[in-house]
Structure 1
Amino acid sequence: MRSSNPAFARNEAFARTGRAGFDITTPSADQLDQQYGLPSPVRDRAMTLEDVVTRTGILFAVLLATAVPLFFGMTTGALAFGTGLLLTFAGAIVGLVLALVVSFSKSVKPGLMLAYAAFEGLFVGGISAFYTLNWGNGLVPQAVLGTLVAFGAMLVAYRTGVLRATARFRKILMIAAIGYLAIGLINLVAVLVFGTGSAFFDTGLLGVGLSLVGVTLASLFLVLDFDFIEQGIRNRLPQQFAWSAAFGLMVTLVWLYLEILRLLAVLRGNN
């Protein structure tokens, strides 16, 4: 079964079989005669963990390059709130479109991934400023720290074998994610149509429970990302696929950060 992360789910290169992503058709005798004596084509070297780490760092550097200025511009008043809000919505919409294009593309597109990181940075910076203005200072550093701790914990759990991306694990996680998405959509309709308060920001047990579910789901999706990166390295995929691995990790980590940010806001409960 494929990963539930859209960055990997439609990418056969990260399948568990080592033959995935390669054309292994046997050439005919005529084709061999034509190729005889010609120099061998230069093949892209295999993807490594260092490649994934480097490209992940590049994507996050681009994200921070747009997120940090917008965050400080909105929180210090140097940027009009309406302008900041407009940039935040633009980042969310364009980022979503670019993420879908990248995820459903059959080829690796580093340029679009970098563009996605830039627009996603606008969304992350703007939404972080919104939380800071409404729930006070200190929320963002705590969310960043929580994201790093969750990432480290999931990595240790995966490397030690405590959590493995088995078929049953993927199935249960996918069902839970669909259920969580359905609850989110129902809540959104209720807010827009009936003007009710969002259950996801409820300061009681409901809001805390939903936030904990979101953090847990996002954290567990990291296990799927680790597994498919490992399979890609094991299959000796070309170096360019490190961009796809980095993109998938960034999508999950941003999701995890936003879930932790909301959980902290709900726990603070002074909105």
Structure 2
Amino acid sequence: MQKLSNYKTSNPAFSNYFWKNNPNTSKTMSVRGIIIKSIVCIFIIALITGFIWKLYDNGTNVRWFTLGGMLAAIIISIVISVRQHWSHVLVPLYAIAKGCFLGGFSAFIKAKYPELPFQAIGVTIITFFTILVLYQTQIIVLTKKLRSVIITAALSIFIVYFISFILSLFGIRSFLWGTSWLAIVFNIIAATVAAFTLLLDFNYIEKHKNKADKYKEWIATWGLLVSLVWLYTEILRLMRKFAIKF
């Protein structure tokens, strides 16, 4: 069985653009550093999300937090891609933006289904460690074909969501937001692709640990946040659809 150590991931944070240079300092990226930074950023996201939930419970309109957080996260991601040395500042800001997005997005769901966000967190954590075990034990072997499928699927899903967003600006509601079986199947596929994106990211982190510059721990943290937030969002949407349908 062949392990993919030379292939790129579908996650932009783990493309060769971010890792092509040799370390410029004696300190290099470590898994421990990535874990610590990821925990800090996840805590920031949770804190902001909880704050927005409280605002929503007090009657505040949090719709703009959702849209503003989403747009801010996109802008910050673009800046990170061209100003990598600012990542120690930009990645925490990205976490704040994602906290605003998730807080606003999940507040509406939590109001009607109070347990769903917490259940989605649990499923996301379980999925994360399941993919990690599958990767470490090589139960799933990364082949070139599998990599191509994941990248193609992720890009296709992004295009569908983008088109859906554009249509919504003209008052056209996409099937994605409904509870039809087609919408549910699409949601399941999207969640699966998000999970397999983590598989590719683990591979890329392993390839560059103890080699890349220390500051790139923040880049690796950003990449994991991108995948985890996407996975959590898909799981929460899927659970909501099941709750409505059944």
Common topology (TM > 0.5): yes
Instruction: Tell which deviates more after alignment, 60-69 or 242-251.
Output: 60-69
Q: Deviations over 1:147-170 (max 9, x none)?
A: 011101111111111223433222
Cα distance in 2 between the residues matched to 1:184 and 1:79: 29
Q: Are positions 1:130 and 2:103 aligned together?
A: no
- Whether the 8 Å contact between 1:108 and 1:244 is mirrored in structure 2 is no
- Whether the 8 Å contact between 1:6 and 1:248 is mirrored in structure 2 is yes
- Work out which of the residue numbers 226, 229, 238 in structure 1 matches 2:202: 226
Q: Are positions 1:260 and 2:203 aligned together?
A: no
Cα distance in 2 between the residues matched to 1:263 and 1:220: 17
- Normalising by structure 2, report the TM-score: 0.88
The correspondence of residues 16-35 of structure 1 with structure 2, limited to 5 A, is 20-22=20-22
- RMSD across aligned positions (CA): 2.2
The residue aligned with 1:162 is 139
The residue aligned with 2:4 is none
Q: Are positions 1:179 and 2:156 aligned together?
A: yes
- Whether the 8 Å contact between 1:52 and 1:242 is mirrored in structure 2 is yes
The correspondence of residues 1-271 of structure 1 with structure 2, limited to 5 A, is 1-13=7-19, 20-22=20-22, 43-74=25-56, 76=57, 78-81=58-61, 84-107=62-85, 109-133=87-111, 135-193=112-170, 195-233=171-209, 236-269=211-244
Amino acid at match of 1:9: S
- Normalising by structure 1, report the TM-score: 0.81
- Whether the 8 Å contact between 1:10 and 1:104 is mirrored in structure 2 is no
- Whether the 8 Å contact between 1:163 and 1:223 is mirrored in structure 2 is no
Q: Looking at CA atoms only, which structure, 1 or 2, has the larger radius of gyration?
A: 1
What stretches of structure 1 of length at least 5 have no aligned partner? 14-19, 24-41
Could you say if the C-alpha distance between residues 268 and 55 of structure 1 is closer, same or farther in structure 2, counting changes exceeding 3 Å?
same
Cα drift, residue 189 of structure 1:
4.4
Cα drift, residue 79 of structure 1:
4.4
Could you say if the C-alpha distance between residues 141 and 231 of structure 1 is closer, same or farther in structure 2, counting changes exceeding 3 Å?
same
Instruction: Tell which deviates more after alignment, 140-149 or 158-167.
Output: 158-167
Q: Deviations over 1:197-242 (max 9, x none)?
A: 4312332211110110111010000011101110111x52232221
Cα drift, residue 196 of structure 1:
4.7
- Whether the 8 Å contact between 2:22 and 2:213 is mirrored in structure 1 is no
Instruction: Tell which deviates more after alignment, 158-167 or 121-130.
Output: 158-167
**Higher relative contact order, chain-length normalized (CA < 8 Å, sep 6+):** 2
Cα distance in 1 between the residues matched to 2:188 and 2:167: 21
Cα drift, residue 96 of structure 1:
1.4
- Whether the 8 Å contact between 1:139 and 1:264 is mirrored in structure 2 is yes
Task: Give secondary structure in 1 for the equivalent of 2:29.
Answer: coil
Amino acid at match of 1:153: T
The residue aligned with 1:28 is none
- Count residues in correspondence: 240
Amino acid at match of 2:21: G
Amino acid at match of 1:60: I
